[in-house]
Structure 1
């Protein structure tokens, strides 16, 4: 990996915030719109005549994993002042401040996740789980990239098993009733597995994400990783076709949200490839992709907005999906983001995150 340093900025002042990386915002938009498609789009029935869009199958599992990887990238960029200096060069006081800002954001995500879940939509809300992952990542911010990737591999391979063991223990001890902690082993987005995505993102954030070579490497390397995971999983399932269903289910299936090693590595590869492609396209056609970059710059706002829309319209928007509704909602979210960004700038919830975390992290006189 190529660390981002102040030298990569040329004559820019290391203390001056760098511009947002549009490619990352485009990737965030892909993640958010993908989740909107997963919740409201009509995939249809595979192998049968249907008015649904079969390609929407890619919106199951991949977008939420991409969202988590990008969250890890964002944390590292917060620590490195958007890539102006290596993590190891960050002054101790600045690192402490960054940890406070991340912890405050985690708390806001957890609270926001509680309220979004209280809306009663059929959607498994990721925000609370993501907030817990932010907290778990706090001691990892200065870990070496090799350690982060090794840890990601361990969580990808053993996370599902750890989550199941922890869930059984929690049921026996009554810990399943403790708020927030249950996100470690929850059925959806268990942190004990999903920390793999966060740790990959933390490592990716150390790279020079403005360099074309980095983008190409992510696209090619991510694509190769995804293809290898799918191929190995398929080959092992064929080879072990006589094995018990539990063996396939626990270790070898690539079914979305199964949290097996095969699915986790597949999702990591897809996420890296999407980020690489988004970085390349945004650098080449920034104006054409400005609407997506605008949407990605306020990903949290749009995620919450789509849940509110589902709550207002009703559960049938999820249980009886329509691609007309999906397209209308997706276009509406992007249009809102464009208007808001042009008129106001930072997204409303993003503004709350930034102002609150910055205020609480500011040194006291």
Structure 2
């Protein structure tokens, strides 16, 4: 358990890192691209998670579970109010510096109406902090993450199917204005992005990607936990097995930003490029960069900036107390 001074230092470091990530996200948001850039949302989520740093494990469990179940209900209740009182209610694009001229719209988009609603997505950070506090070297913990994750993911889909099928939820959704306008049944396995999920509580019964419901959060959190457990088990004796993933994974801020920039160029080509070669070329180059920097013991350029800002912020309090 960290002492109070250590927790404060950690929070300052995370806050500084969040600001760097958010600023990178705003810069990338100004590019012409079809990708929904998540970095500004990440920065906000890091700041929202600060009160939970150092929280006792049992209390953190309750917060993570409660937030996963309750935040979608809060978002469901807030969306009609936002739609009525904030115009426009979303950015219809990536957050960029110019959007600070529309603070209400920017806040509504980031928290509730946007592609990555931070109100619900804080659930992922709380669950991630919780998993990170476990003894991840223990085989029992690794197996538990795999089994519990698969079970949670499967249960969420089963419950959603039961609510929408035998209990009649889907029939109600199909009778809503959105259901009559869109092929909701075909969209449920793919995504409900852009669908106005208001008018009936049955929207909370779906588990579609980017629906932000309790069952969606449970399914995605479960699959993520299962993948973490599986990867930890796979590398217990063969640590090199996932090196092509872990090496570039150590410099994701730099590689993600590079990917957005490359795709902003690709998206502007008059003759559309075949996406498969574009994807595999980037994957190969990014793996090579990750392996090279790992061999050299170096960080990515943006990781240096973020870590430097974090180090300065962490040491600032100690300097001020002298």
TM range (shorter): 0.7 to 0.9
**Equivalents in 1 of 2:276, 2:228: separation in Å?**
26
**Equivalents in 2 of 1:275, 1:156: separation in Å?**
24
Structure 2 unaligned blocks of 5 or more:
92-101, 177-199
**Equivalents in 1 of 2:135, 2:261: separation in Å?**
37
Could you tell me whether the CA contact under 8 Å between 1:110 and 1:132 is conserved in 2? yes
Match of 1:304 in 2: 257
> 1:248/1:174 Cα in 2 relative to 1: closer, same or farther (>3 Å)?
closer
The counterpart of 2:154, out of the listed 227, 246, 269, is: 227
Match of 2:185 in 1: none
Q: Is 1:105 the counterpart of 2:32 in the alignment?
A: no
Match of 1:350 in 2: 303
Q: Is 1:125 the counterpart of 2:51 in the alignment?
A: no
> What TM-score do the two structures reach when normalised by structure 2?
0.78
**Equivalents in 1 of 2:15, 2:66: separation in Å?**
21
Q: Is 1:181 the counterpart of 2:107 in the alignment?
A: yes
Match of 2:246 in 1: 293
Match of 1:27 in 2: none
Which structure carries more relative contact order (alpha carbon 8 Å, separation 6+)? 1
- The superposition leaves residues 93-124 of structure 1 with CA deviations (integer Å, 9 ceiling, x where unpaired) of 11111010011111111111100111121111
Q: Is 1:91 the counterpart of 2:3 in the alignment?
A: yes
Q: Once superposed, what is the RMSD of the aligned Cα atoms?
A: 2.5
- The superposition leaves residues 287-340 of structure 1 with CA deviations (integer Å, 9 ceiling, x where unpaired) of 2322211111111111111101112222469x8652222111111111111112
SS of equivalent to 2:49? helix
**Equivalents in 2 of 1:302, 1:249: separation in Å?**
40
**Equivalents in 1 of 2:115, 2:88: separation in Å?**
21
SS of equivalent to 2:86? helix
Cα distance, 1:132 vs structure 2: 0.7
Cα distance, 1:157 vs structure 2: 4.0
Structure 1 unaligned blocks of 5 or more:
1-88
Cα distance, 1:260 vs structure 2: 1.9
Match of 1:152 in 2: 67
> 1:159/1:280 Cα in 2 relative to 1: closer, same or farther (>3 Å)?
farther
Cα distance, 1:202 vs structure 2: 1.5
- The superposition leaves residues 250-279 of structure 1 with CA deviations (integer Å, 9 ceiling, x where unpaired) of 222232211122211110110110111111
Could you tell me whether the CA contact under 8 Å between 1:156 and 1:264 is conserved in 2? no
Instruction: Write the mapping of 1:1-365 to structure 2, written as runs, cut at 5 A.
Output: 89-143=1-55, 144-155=59-70, 157-158=72-73, 160-162=75-77, 164-165=79-80, 167-168=82-83, 171=86, 177-178=102-103, 181-182=107-108, 183-239=110-166, 240=168, 241-245=170-174, 247=200, 250-315=203-268, 322-362=275-315, 363-364=318-319, 365=322
User: How many residues are matched?
Assistant: 276
> 1:174/1:249 Cα in 2 relative to 1: closer, same or farther (>3 Å)?
closer
> 1:175/1:275 Cα in 2 relative to 1: closer, same or farther (>3 Å)?
closer
> What TM-score do the two structures reach when normalised by structure 1?
0.69
**Equivalents in 1 of 2:203, 2:89: separation in Å?**
25
Could you tell me whether the CA contact under 8 Å between 2:71 and 2:119 is conserved in 1? no
